[in-house]
């Protein structure tokens, strides 16, 4: 039976590169995002290049009924999902007191709620196969508090903790669960999150989305629970654990501040 990967946020950045990698590796695809034109263009490209079948589903995953809509589409089309890639997510930059609540609410719904709901919906199906995969895209932001992006950092901490717990619960099953934790990465994220002027992208190495996606895919296939891309990013959590939390939070604030 042909393997099929469901990839959210597939139209740009890490999600786009993961989509190309899974196609290259012989997976059929169900790709979702808000931008239909990009999905249809990507479908045409991948079917032509790799000879696979690509389903598209245009949806805003921050909406309450979006995960159910995807699940119902999968049932109607009789698609067998072997890999669930929860990549969709957004950030926001600025002081919490100045933030627009509607933006924060969308972030929580997208980064946390939809990811959890999709995992809960598809887990029974994934457990039917000899081998199946769940990748949740977290961030190096998951390892410490993040002043000026407080809700985003907290949401990624949730993704990491949820993924590690789920991996433990499923350790004796057929499912690999991996949390991919990229650091600063070239993508639309910094534009959407209004981070162009943050020092973060000046002071730390910025990886390409393709590099991060390749590392994430290999880590998922190997069953790596927490996949942190980049040597400096791997060292940072170990160092953070040795330093008082107040100092860590103050240091993140300095890095996050505008130039």
Q: Catalogue the E-assigned strands of the chain.
A: 4-8, 28-33, 54-58, 83-86, 132-137, 175-181, 185-186, 207-208, 226-228
Q: What is the dihedral of CA 163, 169, 175, 176, to 10 degrees?
A: 40
Rounded to 5°, angle at Cα 147 from 114 and 252: 110
What confidence score (pLDDT) does residue 1 get? 64
- How many residues appear in the chain? 259
For the record, the structure tokens of 42 come out as 């990507």
- Given 93, 152, 158, 215, the catalytic residue: 152
Mean per-residue pLDDT pooled into runs of 10, the chain (259 residues):
92 97 98 97 97 97 97 97 97 95 97 98 96 97 95 98 98 97 78 55 76 98 95 81 83 82
What confidence score (pLDDT) does residue 193 get? 47
CA–CA dist 147, 141 (Å, integer) = 11
CA–CA dist 206, 182 (Å, integer) = 10
Q: Which helix (H) or strand (E) holds 97?
A: none
C-alpha dist (Å) from residue 153 to 89, 145, 214, 252:
12, 6, 24, 11
What is the per-residue burial (b if ≥16 Cβ within 10 Å, else e) of 45-84?
ebeeebebebbbbebebbeeebbeebbeebeeeebebbbb
Contacts of 112 (CB under 8 A, 6+ apart): 155, 158, 159
What confidence score (pLDDT) does residue 92 get? 93
What confidence score (pLDDT) does residue 257 get? 84
Q: Which pTM does this prediction carry?
A: 0.91
What confidence score (pLDDT) does residue 41 get? 97
What confidence score (pLDDT) does residue 208 get? 93
152 as an active site residue: the answer is: yes
What domains can be seen in the chain, in order of their start residue? 4-256 (3.40.50.720)
Largest CA distance in the chain: 53
């Amino acid at each position: 039976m042909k393997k099929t990967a469901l990839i959210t946020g597939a139209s740009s950045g890490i999600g786009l590169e993961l989509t190309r990698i899974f196609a290259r590796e012989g997976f059929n695809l169900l790709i979702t995002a808000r931008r239909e034109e990009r999905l249809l263009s990507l479908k045409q490209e991948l079917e032509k290049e790799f000879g696979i079948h690509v389903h598209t589903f245009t949806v805003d995953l921050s909406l309450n009924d979006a995960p159910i809509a995807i699940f119902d589409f999968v049932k109607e089309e009789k698609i067998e999902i072997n890999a669930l890639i929860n990549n969709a997510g957004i950030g926001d930059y600025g002081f919490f007191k100045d933030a627009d609540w509607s933006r924060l609410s969308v972030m929580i719904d997208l980064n946390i709620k939809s990811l959890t709901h999709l995992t809960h919906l598809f887990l029974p199906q994934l457990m039917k196969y000899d081998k199946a995969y769940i990748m949740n895209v977290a961030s190096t932001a998951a390892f410490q508090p993040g002043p000026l992006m407080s809700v985003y950092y907290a949401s990624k901490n949730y993704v990491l903790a949820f993924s590690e717990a789920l991996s433990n619960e499923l350790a004796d099953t057929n499912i690999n669960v991996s949390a991919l934790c990229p650091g600063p990465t070239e993508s639309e994220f910094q534009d959407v999150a209004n981070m162009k002027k943050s020092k973060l992208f000046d002071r730390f190495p910025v990886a390409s989305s393709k590099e991060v996606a390749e590392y994430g895919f290999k880590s998922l296939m190997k069953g790596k629970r927490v996949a942190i891309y980049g040597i400096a990013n791997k060292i940072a959590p170990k160092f953070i654990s040795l330093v008082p939390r107040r100092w860590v939070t103050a240091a993140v604030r300095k890095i996050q501040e505008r130039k």
